[in-house]
Amino acid sequence: MQFQKFSRTGLMVSRLCLGTGTFGKQTDEAEAFRVFDKAADAGVNLIDTADMYPGGGTLAEVGSSEEITGRWLKGKRGSFIVGTKGGGPMGSQQWDRGSSRKHLLDAIDASLRRLDTDYVDLYQVHMDDAETPLDETVEALDIIVRSGKARYVGVSNFLAYRLARAIGRQDTLRLARFVSAQPRYNLLFREIERELLLLAQEENLAVIPFNPLAGGLLSGKYRQEEKPDTGRFSPEVGQFGAMYVARYWHQREFETVGRLQDIAAETGEPLTKLAVAWILANPTITSVILGASRTEQLTDTLAAADYALDPELKVKLDELTAEYRRGDATR
Ligand SMILES: NC(=O)c1ccc[n+]([C@@H]2O[C@H](COP(=O)([O-])OP(=O)(O)OC[C@H]3O[C@@H](n4cnc5c(N)ncnc54)[C@H](OP(=O)(O)O)[C@@H]3O)[C@@H](O)[C@H]2O)c1
């Protein structure tokens, strides 16, 4: 495993992070523990969870990923850097979501209870909340840091201009500053290269992207005409599955995956490994968040950590997927 400095903090994190988005729905606790063990054995020291996980979870199911994570961490909390997120829907009241002071201060306490820990290393706003003034959100996060409940704060799913504004308010108000961004990024979704990554370079923000395999599409295991009954693109995960179909289940994406598979075959490496290695080859990326519903899925993606992507191959992959730099915020 390789390690990288986490923004301007004193932390070194593994270049691969373990995501827990399937734990508690697609992945039961016993299998989740095996996934954790396999990632830890490979040297992963960074864990990503969120209060609203598992992905596609009902209100009765949300929170179970943090609970499973807390149980696995028992006795080894000090050996891992744990990040969670708040802001997603956690109850039926209007204020059970979003980035208001009321919700974030409740949400961090609930996350700590589920994780069975006194603090998280990284507390992230899961998504931008246009209804709450930025000042209210950054002040609430500052309280969370000063109370010792989180060591650092970050964002996820923010457009670059909103993150730039938020950092500006934190500096002006002398509040705890965001140290990281968690955006969606993969060979089929490269929108962040246009602005967010430039902001991250300039502000020395850690970037920990999620969705490196486009939900599994970049494994090449799907055929467009055969919609699956189980997994990320299926009704098994409710609306979440429908969202993934809307994002990626298109002829253009399937054709690109076919061409990427041809390149992978030429190199003799699985496309899953190349897809993760391609993200790691970007020097602005700190750590890639891997997702797995089953332990064996991690074999190829974990192997990307010690695989140096040939610069010519990187150019080939960059060129083949250049059209996905344009992005489409509606997908
Ligand atoms: N901040 C956010 O808004 C946000 C959003 C999403 C995720 N995340 C975080 O990022 C993590 C990773 O994101 P992601 O799950 O979307 O990553 P991803 O790598 O794009 O997708 C992971 C999924 O792909 C399939 N897969 C993985 N390895 C495979 C392999 N070797 N062969 C075939 N299929 C394979 C599995 O789904 P199936 O078994 O169902 O096919 C797995 O759950 C999550 O766990 C979560 O912690 C954050």
Q: For position 326, what pLDDT does the model report? A: 80
| DSSP at 42 | T
**274 φ, ψ (degrees, to nearest 5):** -65, -40
- Over residues 34-48, the mean pLDDT reads 98
Indicate whether residue 215 lines ligand 1 (CB < 6 A).
yes
Q: For position 306, what pLDDT does the model report? A: 93
Nearest CA to ligand 1 atom 27: 292
DSSP-H helix ranges across the chain: 29-41, 64-73, 101-115, 134-146, 160-172, 196-203, 238-248, 251-267, 271-280, 298-303, 311-320
Q: For position 66, what pLDDT does the model report? A: 98
pLDDT in tens, 223-258: 999 999 999 999 999 899 999 999 999 999 999 999
Is pLDDT at 268 greater than 90 in this prediction? yes
pLDDT in tens, 311-320: 999 999 999 9
User: Is the Cα torsion angle 230, 232, 238, 243 positive or negative in sign?
Assistant: negative
Q: For position 255, what pLDDT does the model report? A: 97
On whether the pTM is more than 0.95, the answer is yes
Is pLDDT at 137 greater than 80 in this prediction? yes
Spatial neighbors of 268 by CB under 8 A, at least 6 apart, are none
Whether the CB-CB separation of 119 and 150 falls below 8 Å is answered with yes
Is pLDDT at 329 greater than 60 in this prediction? no
pLDDT in tens, 167-209: 999 999 999 999 999 999 999 999 999 999 999 999 999 999 9
Helix (H, G, I), strand (E, B) or coil at 188: coil
- Mean confidence (pLDDT) of the chain: 96
- Residue 11 tokens read as 């932390």
- Sequence ranges of the domains in the chain: 3-325
pLDDT in tens, 276-293: 999 999 999 999 999 999
Q: Which amino acid is at 15?
A: R
Q: For position 176, what pLDDT does the model report? A: 98
| Count of CA atoms in the C-beta half-sphere (13 A) of 194 | 13
Q: For position 327, what pLDDT does the model report? A: 63
**266 φ, ψ (degrees, to nearest 5):** -60, -35
User: Tokens 């992207």 — which residue?
Assistant: 209
Look at residues 66, 52, 55, 49 and name the one whose alpha carbon lies nearest to residue 26: 55
Indicate whether residue 20 lines ligand 1 (CB < 6 A).
yes
Is the preceding omega at residue 311 within 30 degrees of 0, hence cis? Answer: no
Q: What CATH number belongs to 3-325?
A: 3.20.20.100
Nearest CA to ligand 1 atom 12: 291
Nearest CA to ligand 1 atom 22: 291
Nearest CA to ligand 1 atom 28: 297
Is pLDDT at 155 greater than 80 in this prediction? yes
Indicate whether residue 216 lines ligand 1 (CB < 6 A).
yes
With left for phi above 0 and alpha for psi between -120 and 50, is residue 264 left, alpha or beta? alpha
Distance 263 CA to ligand 1 centre (A): 22
Strands 12-14 and 3-5, by their bridges, are antiparallel
Distance 241 CA to ligand 1 centre (A): 12
Q: For position 135, what pLDDT does the model report? A: 98
pLDDT in tens, 78-112: 999 999 999 999 999 999 999 999 999 999 999 99
Is pLDDT at 120 greater than 80 in this prediction? yes
Neighbours of 154 (CB within 10 A): 26
**78 φ, ψ (degrees, to nearest 5):** -70, -15
Distance 217 CA to ligand 1 centre (A): 10
